[in-house]
Chains A and B, each alone.
Chain A
Amino acid sequence: MTQPILKMNKISKSFGGVQALKDVSFDVFQGDILGIIGPNGSGKTTIVNCITGFIKPTSGKIYFKGKNITGKKPHKIADMGVTRTFQVMRPYHSLPAYKNLVIPLFSPRAKRTGGWRGGGSLGDRQTVAIDILEEIGFERDSYIPFKKTSTLPTGYLKRLELARCLALKPEIIICDEVFSGLSMSEIASMVPLIERLQDEGITIVMIEHRLRELFQVANRVMVLNFGEKLIEGTPSQVMADEKVKEAYFGSEKVEEVMTYA
């Protein structure tokens, strides 16, 4: 049996009296797209913060490629190749889009790996940045890569979040709601991008509220409810599960669930 690339072992986190996560364990394997869903406040973003070191779990251990990364600093974890996007986009608003990518390209990891495509020299980071932006959907010959991020629409900012992870040549990308706030057509163009990243061997963990699109790309889905793992399985298993329907919609509205999913 292969070793999981990311292993969560009984992670708990409490903020004062609120228990955000209760003994959550799961494995992510190389090349997976794991979806994590759950109602508001079920602890999805807390999991992201625990894995990437932004908060320290109260108890439990997290292993990346067999190495314990629990409680390490965020920049150390990112340096190992575990990257994340932020649910509320965090661009550097006083810089144009392409200069936003100079920052990850300046990191020690990018210096070691040579950035997303690797190999090439990082001599001119701004040129490399524009190359990455083009691959991720910023039209090269337009003015868009050169616009200040404070003027860019949400769709581009979500892509920029992904690009910031890719610039590090990541092993895992943890996407915190990359689909939220996007139109149907924007999501339709994001899905192939996610699938392409999977083909490149990047492991992806997706936190989502947009179930229809998530079930399309994910090969496994985990459901959280009030900080506890409800079920884990293939999208169709999860969709059919009564407990999930109950968690999302209450016990009496099963018919509506069926029309939504």
Chain B
Amino acid sequence: MSTQELRKERIDRGIKVRSDGLYALMSLRELSYLTLPRIILIAGMLALPFLMPDMYWQRVISIVCIYAILALSFDFMAHYVGLVSLGGAFFIGTGGYIAGILNSYFGIPPMLTVPLAAIMGGAVCTLLLFPCLPLKGVYFAIVTLMYPLFMARIIEAFDIFGGTDGLVGIDSFSSAFAEQYLVIGMVLIFLFGLRRFVTTDMGLIFTAVMDNDQAVRASGINITRYKALAVFIASAMGCMAGACLTHIYMWSGISQFALDFSILPIAATVIGGSGTLVGPLIGCLILVPVSELLRDFGTLRIVFYASILVGFILFRSDGIMAFGQRKYEQFERWKKI
């Protein structure tokens, strides 16, 4: 039979339908259907430092987590607030420099600089981005892309905070385990925290601002305040990741404003699945190690990297997560027309 007489239909799996209701609480099978994917993700992330004890790969795990936090913040901003931000590098750089300054000038230990950098960095980024909040779409993206370039040139031109050499001799975390579990813990807390947050009533305001900001204004809600809050959440996450990066490399410098930090999280979000929040983490878990493995190819690695991206955009534009979720929840069969 030709495909003209057949069509593919997708039907929800019985277990998916059953586990939507109360039944899920009464049967171990339905309960595990619901919780297993989450448990596997959490357990897998926590086990990573043991699975890869090699020094080199330990560092890669930390970098994966830092990119994952950035990708989470991008996904939240772009698909739950409607602000497409290319500010990853801006957040990382600001957080990184704040942590570096606090540590090398004032001697504050890493366990305090990280939360301080999140709050102070979030405030700085929100303040600088505040005038751009009425902008939408590509215009907002351009402004957020301008800031990291601007900051790097300012530091270079005025020769402040160590100038082109950067701040050196910054304290590292107490041990490799402390470093890894800090970043892994942050990723998991941000991931599940954001997933919960976007479904709350306040989270719905953000979605509404994305869908139709004029209608939100007509509902008596100050949209600028909510956009600023969203930018603060996203930039505080990014700054926290930047602070960790500073302590991991024991150095903060101009290269923390490099555009890799803006671009790779977006690529990871596209590969993992936009708007899912888990997707960006999965994307980073794939992209960052792949880019490390391709290091042997020298400059050719960009070519491989780009082909992977193009492949995903052409054939799986909804991302791994959306594909996986569909397979997990539905089965497909051919049906005669």
Contacts and interface: CB of A to CB of B under 8 A. Distances in A.
A164 B215 contact: yes
Nearest to A92: B211
Interface stretch (B9-17, B150-158, B198-206): B198-206
B216 interface: yes
B228 to A, nearest CB: 14
B201 A86 contact: no
B220 A86 contact: no
A78 B220 CA distance: 5
B212 interface: yes
A104 B204 contact: no
Contacts of B222: 73, 75
A41 to B, nearest CB: 21
B221 A75 contact: yes
A102 B220 contact: no
Interface in B81-100: none
Contacts of B211: 91-95
30 contacts: A54-B217, A73-B222, A74-B218, A75-B217, A75-B218, A75-B220, A78-B218, A83-B220, A86-B218, A90-B212, A91-B212, A91-B215, A92-B207, A92-B208, A92-B212, A92-B215, A95-B204, A95-B207, A95-B208, A102-B204, A103-B205, A103-B215, A103-B221, A104-B220, A105-B201, A106-B204, A106-B221, A108-B220, A108-B221, A164-B219
Interface in A147-163: none
A213 B263 CA distance: 56
A229 interface: no
B215 A107 contact: no
B214 interface: yes
Looking at B215, B218, B221, B223, which has the most chain A CB atoms within 10 Å of its CB?
B218
Is the interface on chain A under 10, 10 to 19, 20 to 34, or 35 or more residues?
Answer: 20 to 34
Binding site secondary structure of chain B? helix
A125 interface: yes
Interface in A69-109: 73-75, 78-79, 83-84, 86, 90-95, 99-100, 102-109
A52 interface: yes
Nearest to A168: B220
Interface in A221-243: none
A84 B218 contact: yes
Interface string B182-207: 00000000000000000001101101
A83 B218 contact: yes
A168 B219 contact: yes
Interface in B143-172: none
